[in-house]
Amino acid sequence: MWAATLPAGAPSGGIYAALVLALLVAVFAVVGVKATQQPAPQAQRQGGRRRRGKGGTAGVAASGAADDADLATPLLAAEEGANGDAARSTDGAAHGQASDGPAPGGHTADSPTEIVVVGAAPAATTLGTPQAAAPGIPYSELAVGVPRESAPGERRVPLTPAGAAALLKAGFQAVVVERGAGAAANFAYAAAGATLGGREEAFGQAVVLKIHAPGVADEVPLMRPGAVLVSFIYPSQHSELVQALAARRLTVVGMDCIPRTISRAQTFDALSSMANIAGYRAIVEAAGAFGRFFTGQITAAGRVPPAKVLVVGGGGAGLAAVGAAHSMGAIVRVFDTRAAVAEQAKSLGAEFLTVSVEESGDGSGGYAKEMSKEFVEAEMALFREQARDVDIIITTALMPGKRAPVLITRDMVESMKKAA
């Protein structure tokens, strides 16, 4: 759903609209705007797949499958019940955890937010028991807002003109785009049928699409109570923002919380897509700043050795950086706490570095876990040694829900070669 906007000639993104539709179907089926469901027996035969109800109403088939619960985790619901009590919550970065509160529509007052599981049957439901259907909201009564990103230098937009046209074709009331959004990519939203408006108009729609999490002071107050926000959020790092969203009873789809290990969720994995771009871009930026050939050269003036690149972290961004650096002729070394990365790094032509301390870094969901003190000391010693030898260091290590660890220290940088 997220489109990196290039200066010109950026490809159209019809697939992004499909992602928006699928996400909205999931959201409106569960929180605030309840959608029509099939009776449970038929829904179970459907395997929990999302579908549209008759008349353009969002719908979701109920299922108790475990992977449905995992897939629903990104839905961070910050809504209040009809009696005004705040709904129960857990952190949006926790994967596969269903809310222990009542089914959608019930109320508790323990905490202001809750994780709502899409497609999971209520605890009291017996498999095969028909469920009571709740009325849905037709697409024709929903409008989508696309504000312009306010972060300095940000050129991305969450929806392309082709995506806007697809939403309108699906029956949505309107797509309101703030003037200036997508200008860096020469996107013409008006020609696709979207409505151009001001900042308040874009933020004031029933569904708001963003790249960066909204500002607590200047953007959250512009959103209507009970609206749906689709954006990168990082809830465990922005507790104040989560509370502000909860106070306005917003439903938030955290794009950074989507589990990448579930095949049906990979279509929505915008975080990995952005990581891939970031890893490639890091090498391009480094090559420009390095000022020397990446590949070795033998000329009449003498021999130029190839550049040596160290990539710390072998996730999506790290492997993208490895592939880009190797394709440019550099000698690439990779370090990661997960043994599974070794084979991937070697397949891309890189050398995989290890430490003397034997400890697995494999965590849940394919992500890395926190390592022991002994392992951290050993890897820091390795980085200190490598810093004196390599020309470029790319750091991509990250654990979900936490700030990136500081692995390259000031003394390591100061020990690097001149022009490194």
The secondary element (H helix, E strand) that includes residue 319 is helix 316-327
Of 156, 367, 386, 391, which residue is the catalytic one? 367
Terminal alpha carbon distance of the chain: 37
From 42, 150, 239, 266, active-site residue: 266
**Residues 39/139, Cβ–Cβ less than 8 Å:** no
> Is 266 assigned a catalytic role?
yes
Catalytic residue among 52, 88, 249, 260: 260
Catalytic residue flag (residue 344): no
Cα separation, 340 vs 402, in Å, equals 22
Residue 170's CB is within 10 A of a number of other CB atoms, namely: 16
Listed in sequence order, the residues at least 6 apart from 265 whose beta carbon sits closer than 8 Å to its beta carbon are 70, 71, 258, 259
Q: 272, 297, 327, 415: which one is catalytic?
A: 272
Contact 136, 92 (CB under 8 A): no
Token pair recorded at residue 355: 């430490």
- Residue 172 CA to residue 194 CA, distance in Å, equals 11
Which residues contact residue 132 at a Cβ distance below 8 angstroms, ignoring those fewer than 6 apart? none
- The residues that bridge with 292 in the sheet, in sequence order, are none
Cα within 13 Å of Cα(331), Cβ side: 10
Active site residue 260: yes
297 counts as catalytic: no
| C-alpha distance from residue 95 to each of 104, 132, 347 (Å) | 19, 28, 30
CA 246 distance to own-chain centroid = 20
The one catalytic residue among 269, 281, 297, 362: 269
> Looking at the annotation, which residues are catalytic?
260, 266, 269, 272, 367
